[in-house]
Structure formats: structure tokens, C-alpha cells
Structure 1
């Protein structure tokens, strides 16, 4: 079986597994967000940590992350989760600064990255119809961006997008991914019966660009630590971070856009009135 076939099969299975809790929202999807955030943090620490004997303080970041994941699973309000995350990141940063062995200097950023990833996904979905449409819109844009960027880049080739960070990515692929993301987002919006198609097209373009930037960011982190993949948890795809890097970046961007546009307490209401 070719690597492309393995990638396709793994992708189909993952999509099926995530769409069921996405449909239900609420606690089921919040638990998915917790699992994603936990896996992202695990892989981040796995890449960033030095080898050798573990010291007691090496377990602190994991404990701090577990505290946040428990709060996220319990459904604390957005502001409380954000305040808690800031406090936990501050503790990790202070402890890392106090250590003389250099270990832990990536811990605070890992907690922030993983925490914001889970928070954005969970709060964006929520438990109402607007949240469902917002998260499906996010999936459509990001997945279409990934697929079109991959195939257009392979078919057209041309100048590299960021050769020092990710040698395989091309400008043609980035452009193709952006076009695909916009088309997919607008099509989803039409199916959903949204009336503000021009605005949602602009949002889709922003999300596509942010998604690709998130992909490049994760590639930079891996390159900094001499890794090709964040782990080998997903056959044909590497780790969870390798699959959700663009998604979590775009989720955070969509949450901020929705929050800025919303007149109600749910950010998705600023995008899809429900």
C-alpha cells in the first residue's frame, strides 16, 4: 500500500471520528478538544525536551496542563479558562527561568499553544446550531486548503514558499490552497443558507492564510528540534500536531473574528446567526 493510500485511509477515519462529536457538540466535542490539546502538548514536550534522567520539576508542566484540561472538560466559562491558562503559562515560565539546566524553556509556550488550541475549538463549537455551522465552516476551509495545497503544489511546482522552514511547500500550492479554502467555505455557507457570502468569503480567505501560517509555524518548531514529524501516532501523517497545526491556528483566528463581530455571548453568532 502506497503512502498516499495510507494517508487517505487515515484521513477518512479521522474525519469520521471527529464529525460525530462535532454534530452533537457540548460535552462530546469538548472532550475531543481536550484530547487534541492533550496530544498537542504531549508531542510538543516530546520534541522539546532533552534526553536523560527526569527531574521532579520536569513533571510540573504536565500537571499544569492537566489542570487546564480538567477545567476545559468541566465547561468553565471562557473568561475563567483564559485567566487560568494565563496563570498556568506564567507559572511554567517562572519555573523555567529559575532552572539552571536549560530544561523547560519551551514548556510555557507549549502550554499556551495547546491550551489555546483546545479552548478555541471547544468554545467555537459550543452546543448550538450557530456553533455547528461555524465549526463545519472551519473544517471545510482548512481541509480544502490542505488538500488543494498538496495536489496543486505537486502538480504545478514552482518557487518554494519558505524553503528554510518547509522545503516541500510551494507558492503555487499556497495559492491553490487559498482558492480551495475560499470556495469550500462559500459552498458551505450557501448550503447553510447564510446570506453574508461576501463577508464569509473574506473570512475563509483569512482562515486559509492563517491555516497555512500555522502549518509553517509547526514546521519551524520541528526544524528547531531536528524532527521530521511531531510523532508517529497517525499512520501516514505523523503526529496529531502534524494534522491539526493549521486547524488550531485557524480555529483561534475564527474565534477572535467571531468574538469581534458578535453582538451576543457566543462568537459563532457573529458569523452564523442561529
Structure 2
């Protein structure tokens, strides 16, 4: 075993243990993890896209918005944080338009802010949130792992050769199929409803997970960087590790918000939606 592979395995075990512990504890512990991910994602995003060099004032304002949002999420004001994120996004877009700046500024505000907000909203503080988060981990990990092995075994046409030359359509299909089977199993074990609605949602989340991976690959290729950072030994940066997860979280959070808006359930949560327990 090479030294690089050993380092990768060791840091992977430490990361997995920390994430699973925070997920198990929930509440403030998981919100702290979500906020840390969001802030680190924005740091990596702004570094890769060179926001500071492009606009120092906009860069400072964007960091201020992320800090305020982080405090709101950390102390559990998630509805207020949702309103803040929308307001900060609109302000960033308006600022960009007035200064004729780069779209990477509001893009970073949304990407990092929604990363923290969606993670915290899904986990929540109860048992349902714990189950939903573990189901989501199952979907994303099954997609990622099986897409890699199926793609290598079968090969075939490339999924997006200009963005990520190694990914194939066979791998994408294999990853989604694995996510559907294991995701439905995880939902059943969690006491959820493994029905057609849940199956369709799992497929959507698996697809979004792969889109998230491609999106980060696009950013890195666009700015000529190999990794989002060197923060994690053997793994690159935080964005390199959570790209698929946060996109799946985006989809779950936004879809559940829409479902909630058209539902008579006053206590619907992202967790109950993911487990197929909230009425549409």
C-alpha cells in the first residue's frame, strides 16, 4: 500500500467517524458541522474563482453574509436563515449588476449558504431527521461508489467528456440503480414508506448527486485547479468530498419546501418528506 493511499484511508476514516458522530448527536453538534461545511465551502469557492482578486468589496460583503447566516443556522433559526439566504442572494445579484461584476459572487453565496442550511434542515434535532440523514448518506454513497465500479467494469459512452472524462453513462445508470435499491432498503429499515413516490424521489436525489459532482468538476476545469483545496490529506478539499451530498441536500430541501407549501401538514419536515411520511 502506497503512503498516499494509506493517508487517504486514514483521513477518510477520521472524516466518516466525525460526520457520523455529529449526525448521531444531531442538534447543535450537527448544526456546527453544517455551518463549518458551509463556511469552508465558501472559502474554497472564493479561492478557486478568485473572488477576492476580482472584487475585494464584494468579497468582504459575501463573507459577512455567510457569517450572519452561519450564526442563524448555528442557533437553530432555520426559517429566519432561509429568509436571510434569499435576501443575501438578491443583494449579491443586485450588487453584481451594479458593479458589472462576476456571477461567481452570488453563486458562491447560494452554494455555500444552501449547503449549510439544507444539511441542518434535514437533520434537525429528532429521530426522524437522523433516519432521513442516514438514508440520504446511503443514496449518495451508493451512487458514488457503484457509479465508479460499474463505469470501470462496463465503460461505454462518456457522460460529460469535456467536464469529467472518466464518467460514463453506464456508471451513471449503475449508480442510480444501486441508490434506488439500497435507498428503498434504507427507507424501509428506517420505518418509512418504500413506495413509488419514495422511489422516484431517490432517483431524483441520485441524479442530483451526480450533477453536483459534475458541477464541481466544471468549476475546477474552468479555473484550472486539480482540487478545491488541500485541506483534507489525501482527499483535496471539502467541496471535493461533499459536492454530491450537498446537491442531493439542495434537491431534498427545495422539493420538501414545495411539498410543504402545497400540503395541509403543519408539522412537515424535510425528514418526514424524505422518508415518504408527509402527505403531498
TM-score of the aligned structures, taking structure 2 as reference length: 0.88
What's the counterpart of residue 272 of structure 2? 269
Q: C-alpha separation between the residues in 2 aligned to 1:107 and 1:227?
A: 18
Relative to structure 1, is the Cα distance of residues 198 and 13 closer, same or farther in structure 2, using a 3 angstrom cutoff? farther
Equivalent residue number for residue 136 of structure 1: 134
Quick one: structure 1 residues 183 and 225, their matched pair in 2 at CA, closer, same or farther if it must change by over 3 Å?
A: same
* 1:194 is the counterpart of 2:192: yes
Quick check: 117-126 or 55-64, which moved more? 55-64
Aligned ranges for residues 158-237 of structure 1 at < 5 Å? Answer: 158-237=156-235
SS for the counterpart of 1:167 is strand
In 2, distance between residues paired with 1:138 and 1:37?
18
Q: Distance in 2 between matches of 1:178 and 1:172?
A: 10
Q: Equivalent residue for 1:28?
A: 29
| Contact in 2 for aligned 1:181/1:208 (Cα 8 Å) | yes
Structure 2: tracts of 5 or more residues without a match: none
What aligned pairs does 1:5-16 form with structure 2 within 5 A after superposition? Answer: 5-16=6-17
Spell out structure 1 runs of 4+ moving beyond 6 A. Answer: none
| Partner secondary structure for residue 227 of structure 1 | coil
Unaligned runs of 5+ in 1: none
Q: Helix, strand or coil: the match of 2:167?
A: strand
Q: Distance in 1 between matches of 2:5 and 2:178?
A: 20
The answer for the alignment partner of 1:82 in structure 2 is 82
Q: Distance in 1 between matches of 2:10 and 2:152?
A: 20
Stretch of structure 1 that moved more, 8-17 or 230-239: 8-17
On the 8 A contact 2:78/2:117 being kept in 1, the answer is no
Q: How many aligned positions are there?
A: 271
CA distance in 1 between counterparts of 2:272 and 2:197 reads 14
Paired residues of 1:189 and 1:197 also in contact (CA < 8 A): no
- 1:55-134 matches, within 5 Å, as 55-78=56-79, 80-99=80-99, 102=101, 105-134=103-132
2:272 and 2:245 map into 1 onto residues whose CA distance is 20
